[in-house]
Amino acid sequence: MKLLDGGRAPNPRRVRIFMAEKGIEIPLEQVDITKAEHKTEEFTALNPVQRIPVLILDDGTAIGEVSAICRYFEETRPEPPLLGVDALDKATVDMWNSRLQMHLLIPVAQVFRHAHPAMAEMEKPQIAEWSEANRPRVMEALRWLNDRLSKSAFVAGDRFSIADITAMVAIDFLKPARLAVPEDHTALLAWYDKVRARPSYKA
Amino acid sequence: MKLLDGGRAPNPRRVRIFMAEKGIEIPLEQVDITKAEHKTEEFTALNPVQRIPVLILDDGTAIGEVSAICRYFEETRPEPPLLGVDALDKATVDMWNSRLQMHLLIPVAQVFRHAHPAMAEMEKPQIAEWSEANRPRVMEALRWLNDRLSKSAFVAGDRFSIADITAMVAIDFLKPARLAVPEDHTALLAWYDKVRARPSYKA
């Protein structure tokens, strides 16, 4: 088994943190997207949507998409559970993780990709107005995330889960997007200090 | 239990089809997004991201996000399985469902929302260039989906799954976005005829 990985990009990092929380160690193989290594014929045969990360099983089966890779790990290495433990908990974890992906991580990515000069080659066309349109969406998401964390130890409840991983990676992605958590979002900032202290944060 | 539903919108329909496949019948309560009923204080307390559908459990617990609602149903009513049956199958279903959501359904929605006059009030600002930028992404997704369906009876393998539901809803959404499946995508068109013949299609 090995992971086709991609350094600092948010999606590979989500999987690496998930693996670190479960104590899963497998070889990481770097795919350099700045050299368009994810657009080669060989890579496209593994993943038609040309995205990293991709998990390669021992028989050569390729699994793409963060949620699918994490699902595979959760099923084959259940402890500690990161996708919830019963019907309601699993649904709650999925709800917060989906919300954070759709309404925080993706909007932050849009702000970044459609405005940052370093993305001019990767994101064509870059549309400055679309970057701008996503800024208020990010700030709105930070508001409800702060509200949630003022009532809950972790994003999806009392236990660290994949929703915290998506949230921490999204928060780290604010900086290259030239955004920041407002100082009065004290619950969010306290949670961030807490999750950043976990060993998995460095993954 | 009841579902806060929303007529023809793609996401509530994904959940209704999922329920129909499992034989789950619960009351549907319509939320009229054209009257901004999803932006009221009452609705926002149930779902801070102001989206339908929302599943309300008997104790009042609100579950938002299509994938989370479907997860809850899969856990509480396992038959027939729509999210996969073992580790690899579950990961495969999740992979195709995520791909279809991220690279087909969402791009179709962007084409529609940023160009259609009926969305001028809902999507502010409407950015025509962003609509246009998503058209080739949709056509690219239709290409790999057709390729996949030339080798597989259903999107994620031999069994109908949530990935087929996301795909069929996305294909139906092409029309209001003024897009269409190219005629030479014969595997995709044959699959579409097959899934449209299922009773759940009318849900």
Of B65, B92, B102, which has the smallest distance from its Cβ to A99's Cβ?
B65
Strand pairing report for B28-30 and A2-5: unpaired
A156 in reach of chain B (CB within 8 A): no
Residues of B in contact with A65 (CB under 8 A): 94-95, 98-99, 102
φ, ψ of residue B33 to 5 degrees: the values are: -75, -20
Whether B147 has its CB under 8 Å from any CB of chain A: the answer is: yes
Give yes or no for residue A2 having a pLDDT over 90: yes
Quick check: A125 contacting B, CB < 8 Å? yes
User: Nearest CA of chain A to the CA of B60: how many Å?
Assistant: 13
CB-CB contact of B35 with B24 (8 Å): no
Chain B residues within 8 A of A133 when measuring between CB atoms: 125, 127
Interface contact B99, partner A, CB < 8 A: yes
Contact between B133 and A125 using a beta-carbon 8 Å cutoff: yes
Residue identified by tokens 């060993």 is A199
Q: How far is A75 from chain B (nearest CA, A)?
A: 5
Would you call B69 and A91 a contact, using CB atoms and an 8 Å cutoff?
yes
Nearest to A127 among B71, B72, B129 (CB): B129
pLDDT confidence band for A7 (50 / 70 / 90): confident
What are the pLDDT digits (tens) for B94-110? 999 999 999 999 999 99
Question: What is the β-pairing status of strands B28-30 and B2-5?
Answer: parallel
Q: Which domains does chain A have, with CATH numbers?
A: 2-76 (3.40.30.10), 87-202 (1.20.1050.10)
CB contact under 8 A, A72 and B91: yes
Which single residue is written with the structure tokens 């899934």? B195
Chain A CB contacts of B88 below 8 Å: 57, 61, 72
Residue B54, beta-bridge partner list: B4, B64
Nearest-CA neighbor of A25 among A2, A8, A58, A4?
A2
Q: How far apart are the first and last CA of chain B?
A: 18
Residue of A nearest to B68 (CA): A91
**Rounded Cα–Cα distance for residues B169 and B70 (Å):** 15
pLDDT (tens digit per residue) in A51-102: 999 999 999 999 999 999 999 999 999 999 999 999 999 999 999 999 999 9
Nearest CB to B94: which of A48, A71, A148?
A71
pLDDT digits (tens, 9 = 90+) for B142-160: 999 999 999 999 999 999 9
Supply the pTM of this predicted model.
0.97
Q: Do B72 and A87 touch (CB under 8 A)?
A: yes
- Picking from B57, B103, B127, the nearest residue to A133 by CB comes out as B127
Give the separation between CA A116 and CA A75, rounded to whole angstroms.
38
Q: Give the C-alpha separation, B143 to A118, whole Å.
A: 29
Given a cut of 70, the residues of chain B with pLDDT beneath it are none
Order of strands, sheet of A28-30, starting from the edge strand that comes earlier in the sequence = A28-30, A2-5, A54-56, A62-64
pLDDT, tens digit, for every residue of A155-200?
999 999 999 999 999 999 999 999 999 999 999 999 999 999 999 9
User: Is the minimum CB–CB distance between B91 and chain A shorter than 8 Å?
Assistant: yes
Chain B residues within 8 A of A92 when measuring between CB atoms: 63, 68
ipTM of the complex: 0.97
What does the mean pLDDT of chain A come to?
A: 96
CA distances from A96 to A79, B14, B21, B155 (A): 20, 19, 25, 26
Give the count of alpha carbons within 13 A of B38, CB side only: 21
Q: What is the pLDDT of residue A8?
A: 85
